Structure 1
């Protein structure tokens, strides 16, 4: 380490143990640095000693408390003064004013910082941040304290989170708040080993609430959360409601197949016995057991059970609740999967659409259900209602932290397509522009999703006549793709170049279109890779034909030779390419009539040996040979440089070569 920045980097990597190395070493020149490390570690404790001498004895306890949380911002509002006093971790009379003075004193000595964090789109609130090494040092000192002190501090941390998580996670209006809590809950749940029941019970309760938030907000690893919950819940009685709830979350996120179905059935029976038929947890296990019946093919029985769950949830949770709506959607899926279920499913779809339309609080709507409802409304040409579904999802995911960015981008795509169906092309283009902006902010310019979105955006701009922007987008995406050293692995390049070529032709920019075609056929090594896939061969073949029709025979022949080399040997497609190559060579004057006729005869022989005598490619080649033999004027035309025309009328390529040529 030659400078302070290197020291800080090493400190972050090694942790607090790095500071405390050499604690018992004899002082010498060689171990002087180890002593310095120990002194730095002690500095934080000396700072707390100083604050205690200045009349802040609770500062040390407060730092030990913060060490129970993770290395993330802690909203000051979490530090409820009543919660701090409840378990006597702080002295009697420790109120909010005293808390603020303690925080200010710690901030003065740089043991913590106060920053502003967003709570809503425009609102901010103060939060505490502590360097990870400071937290780690305090954890070590807490671990060295007596068991009663450790449990008292941990119990206080759990109580603070218990108070903070009283805001229901089912309402997205609370998700900003929850986004600050969930990493601390994950941290505390994962680092608290075999706690006493007095700590385990409220911590599992907090973890169950946190699991609901993670599930509904598409945030974090639910499997990791469920594993920690199950471990903590083992401190509780086997039939304790919280232990049953933890088992359910574990089964939901970790188990599959028959073990999962059996666990849901067992949990349903047990929770019904312990909590009653219509309890929140009983209905959850009942719902998931019914879903396992669907998966096993017992759909009639599953429908019956799902209807029971839906009725109970509507009565106990309300019509507008994410879990009620989830059951309603799963019921529709169950009915739809039955042979006679289409009409009954339509009735349920109508019920669902009316329920969603009547919702007064959109924050309680299930986003996944809204997604599928939007598709159903689109299928019924109820485009404005579908648009509302997609916009609700996008708005929800845009304003709250989530790991569901991919889902959000998918919904922007659905919205853009919906607007096209409504004939609102300009609005659709604006939606694509927003999608592209979000992707470019989240990913590098070379990301495949960004490049694909540029192409999609160009398509809609083309539809509304904004040609200049279309060309710019298509060229920028191609430039990035072609600059990639591994471009042979990028199977989008031929299609993108093919699209750009036809776009330029449509814009009557033939010279530029031919330049793009020439650039494509010159990518020899890449074409050898791409030509293994039929759609890509079709794109490259189209460029070859365009070059041939423009009289650029050498470039066309170069591309055709490479395609033949890459195409499956002796396949019909290879023979079709050979026919086109021979025609191009004859038209250019590279082959005389006898050599051309000889090549056609060879192709016909191969086709007759390996394929049906009525084969379309065989007939096409025979017609070409007949035309060659029957009309000497065709040869004269070819020798003069004009494009060759056989009985094939403009030499249309076979379906195998180019399925769906139009862009």
Structure 2
């Protein structure tokens, strides 16, 4: 093939001469930006015609949102700050970040409408969720601000820098503007190409789930967290949408169940207001939510085309998880699924440490979670606002929204539920201290674990989860939360009865924990009946010498002692003590507890010789048990109270003082048993005739018990009666 014939040509001014051979597409663009800006010659394109660009959005002057609230609730402070930015000198970027469904777009929509209507700003709205939609929307913004068709075609076809074109026209806009970049959940979409800039002529507002991107830290940027609504405003949202469905009180119940999440509230209100075949009240809707909150709430979504997933509670989180998977963090899905096995309460980070150390195997889960991937997965969930960092009980925790956890849990494949629940239970078990532990192990944040054990038991009822709940109940009793201990033990017993049997060992253990908590709540008859039932069942199922049977025998004896049925109590406690010595050994903790109860019973019966013989339990316990162990505290306390009951006040005084100091140091001055030790000290002082000291101690006891128990508690009433009697006796002294 011969060389093409040369062509001679000459150009002048702004003319150009091109030479080519064959069939070619030749395009040249000249761009003129008005007076004072000169003209730029874009690089010419020589080659095949560029592909057609992305479809231009129908409008950038109208907010492209699925459903905007008629009234924006709460958000007053945030709106005031944003309003000041829109009406101010400009040049700012404001970032609204938060959990999906928390109402970021609703705030942006309200500001947009107000800026256009009340402040004369040009409102420009761009979907920034993907590169294609962002590029098309921003080029449409350039066209709105005056870019020519040729300039836009060149930018769309790659012949010129698109972002430079857009920001040139924004910088030279004849009107001030507000630009909303909505759903910028992947900040790299804005960062690549330099789409996020500032201009003195306008304000940029970004909505995103990504809370921590370095892109938000630039000059002129301000970040605004957007969370759930206060309960009163959340209830009002429901009433705005469904005013005839019920009272504000009923709406508050629904709002609480939905965690005051704006998206869930909007869908719920829409469902209530658009029912055809049924017409539920707020109360009926609340009852239905207990069955399947995510599925029910999503029934309020209208068909909104391709963007439907952003307007479904059950799908909105998946957008963030998909983005994390694309970023190389598929493990974030596994970690969030693990969190969905627990409650929507703070999760202490120490609960996850066994996973990070490789002590709990996640390799059998899908996707697997290797130890070195726990930290990146956590960071990814934080960055996408799927979880937040909080502090509870002085500990660093993460927390996720309840509706999010509910929808994530609902999306876990059936084949993977059991494996997830097993890992969640093993982590909780590893974090709980043993039932009998030294105090430094007992009072270390176990309260944070209680709601997670409850949720696990609810989601995966069985022997393991019910057993964890029993351990929580026992820890609550150790901490002095007797009402909570009784409640949690009862729940464990109910679940165990349904999922296991009435005679299963876990069921009986739960009832035992409940009965012991009832004793401390002064429900002595209820405790006695429950202890008797447990003892009878354990004798039949386990045999009379089984350690659990003997524990129940001692528990029944303790109940009878508090009911003043002292002879029966002595008989059962002697029976339990003798068998425990034989079966468990004389140095077993259970043996010491039973002997201590027997000491108190003998003192109440006035059996001095038997009391002195059994009081050797104090020395025996000190040889085998650390002095600050709860069992050691119990033995010393009961011995001091026994001395008081026998009128041996001089012997009781040093014991009572030591018990008071130990209880306050180990368990806290306001622990119910520390207050019981203060009561013992006051009564011993009164018995010694130290009336001033006794009255001062009793007055302190009343004041502190009122703070802890309330002025109407039976113990407070009894203490006030003592005070009146003691004061009268003191005044009668010569």
Q: TM-score range by the shorter chain?
A: 0.5 to 0.7
What's the counterpart of residue 588 of structure 1? none
**The one of 516, 527, 537 aligned to 1:267:** 537
Give the C-alpha shift of residue 397 in structure 1: 1.9
Contact 1:87 1:156 in 2 (8 A): no
Contact 1:293 1:299 in 2 (8 A): yes
Measure, in 1, the Cα distance between the counterparts of 2:403 and 2:374. 22
Is residue 329 of structure 1 aligned with residue 596 of structure 2?
yes
Contact 1:67 1:136 in 2 (8 A): no
Give the C-alpha shift of residue 328 in structure 1: 1.6
Measure, in 2, the Cα distance between the counterparts of 1:39 and 1:26. 7
SS of 1:221's partner is helix
Contact 2:535 2:549 in 1 (8 A): no
Measure, in 2, the Cα distance between the counterparts of 1:437 and 1:293. 30
Give the C-alpha shift of residue 300 in structure 1: 5.4
Give the C-alpha shift of residue 302 in structure 1: 4.8
What's the counterpart of residue 18 of structure 1? 265
Measure, in 2, the Cα distance between the counterparts of 1:177 and 1:41. 36
Measure, in 2, the Cα distance between the counterparts of 1:205 and 1:27. 45
1:393-412 aligned within 5 A? 393-398=663-668, 405-412=671-678
Give the C-alpha shift of residue 438 in structure 1: 6.9
Give the C-alpha shift of residue 381 in structure 1: 0.8
Give the C-alpha shift of residue 435 in structure 1: 7.3
Measure, in 1, the Cα distance between the counterparts of 2:301 and 2:500. 49
What's the counterpart of residue 179 of structure 1? 446
What's the counterpart of residue 156 of structure 1? 423
What's the counterpart of residue 241 of structure 1? 505
What's the counterpart of residue 277 of structure 1? 545
Q: Deviations over 1:83-110 (max 9, x none)?
A: 6535833544611x21122112222233
**The one of 442, 466, 470 aligned to 1:208:** 470
Q: Deviations over 1:67-125 (max 9, x none)?
A: 32234332222222156535833544611x2112211222223332345556xxxxx6x
TM-score with structure 1 setting the length:
0.54
What's the counterpart of residue 484 of structure 2? 221
Measure, in 2, the Cα distance between the counterparts of 1:365 and 1:491. 31
1:195-594 aligned within 5 A? 195=461, 200-219=462-481, 220-234=483-497, 235-236=499-500, 240-249=504-513, 256=526, 259-260=529-530, 262-273=532-543, 277-279=545-547, 281-291=548-558, 302-314=569-581, 323-338=590-605, 341-348=607-614, 350-355=615-620, 357-358=622-623, 359-365=625-631, 367-377=633-643, 379-382=648-651, 383-398=653-668, 405-412=671-678, 414-415=680-681
What's the counterpart of residue 94 of structure 1? 370
Contact 1:83 1:159 in 2 (8 A): no
What's the counterpart of residue 69 of structure 1? 342
Q: Deviations over 1:415-452 (max 9, x none)?
A: 467689999999999989997997899799xx799xx9
Q: Deviations over 1:1-44 (max 9, x none)?
A: 5432794434463515425334556869xx9xx99993788554
What's the counterpart of residue 55 of structure 1? 328
Residues 108 and 419 from structure 1, CA distance in 2 versus in 1: closer, same or farther, beyond 3 angstroms? farther
Alignment gaps of 5+ in structure 2: 1-71, 77-227, 235-254, 271-297, 519-524
Root-mean-square deviation (CA, aligned residues, Å) is 5.0
**The one of 387, 404, 412 aligned to 1:112:** 387
Q: Deviations over 1:475-507 (max 9, x none)?
A: xxxxxxxxxxxxxxx999xx9xxx9xxxxxxxx
Measure, in 2, the Cα distance between the counterparts of 1:301 and 1:408. 29
What's the counterpart of residue 483 of structure 1? none
Measure, in 2, the Cα distance between the counterparts of 1:307 and 1:659. 41
Q: Deviations over 1:512-546 (max 9, x none)?
A: xxxxxxxxxxxxxxxxxxxxxxx9xxxxxxxxxxx
Residues 427 and 115 from structure 1, CA distance in 2 versus in 1: closer, same or farther, beyond 3 angstroms? farther
Give the C-alpha shift of residue 388 in structure 1: 0.9
Contact 1:230 1:247 in 2 (8 A): yes
Is residue 137 of structure 1 aligned with residue 380 of structure 2?
no
Contact 2:617 2:635 in 1 (8 A): no
Alignment gaps of 5+ in structure 1: 119-123, 457-489, 500-534, 536-657
SS of 2:396's partner is strand
SS of 1:157's partner is helix
What's the counterpart of residue 37 of structure 2? none
What's the counterpart of residue 361 of structure 2? 85
Determine which structure has the larger helix proportion and give its number: 1
Give the C-alpha shift of residue 374 in structure 1: 2.9
Contact 2:301 2:311 in 1 (8 A): no
Measure, in 2, the Cα distance between the counterparts of 1:190 and 1:294. 35
Q: Deviations over 1:558-598 (max 9, x none)?
A: xxxxxxxxxxxxxxxxxxxxxxxxxxxxxxxxxxxxxxxxx
Contact 2:343 2:451 in 1 (8 A): yes
Give the C-alpha shift of residue 271 in structure 1: 4.5
What's the counterpart of residue 528 of structure 1? none
Residues 93 and 389 from structure 1, CA distance in 2 versus in 1: closer, same or farther, beyond 3 angstroms? same
Measure, in 2, the Cα distance between the counterparts of 1:301 and 1:328. 15
Measure, in 2, the Cα distance between the counterparts of 1:364 and 1:66. 34
Paired residues, number: 436
Contact 1:248 1:264 in 2 (8 A): yes
SS of 1:110's partner is coil
Contact 2:320 2:384 in 1 (8 A): yes
What's the counterpart of residue 465 of structure 1? none
What's the counterpart of residue 75 of structure 2? 4
What's the counterpart of residue 192 of structure 1? 459
Measure, in 1, the Cα distance between the counterparts of 2:477 and 2:733. 44
What's the counterpart of residue 206 of structure 2? none
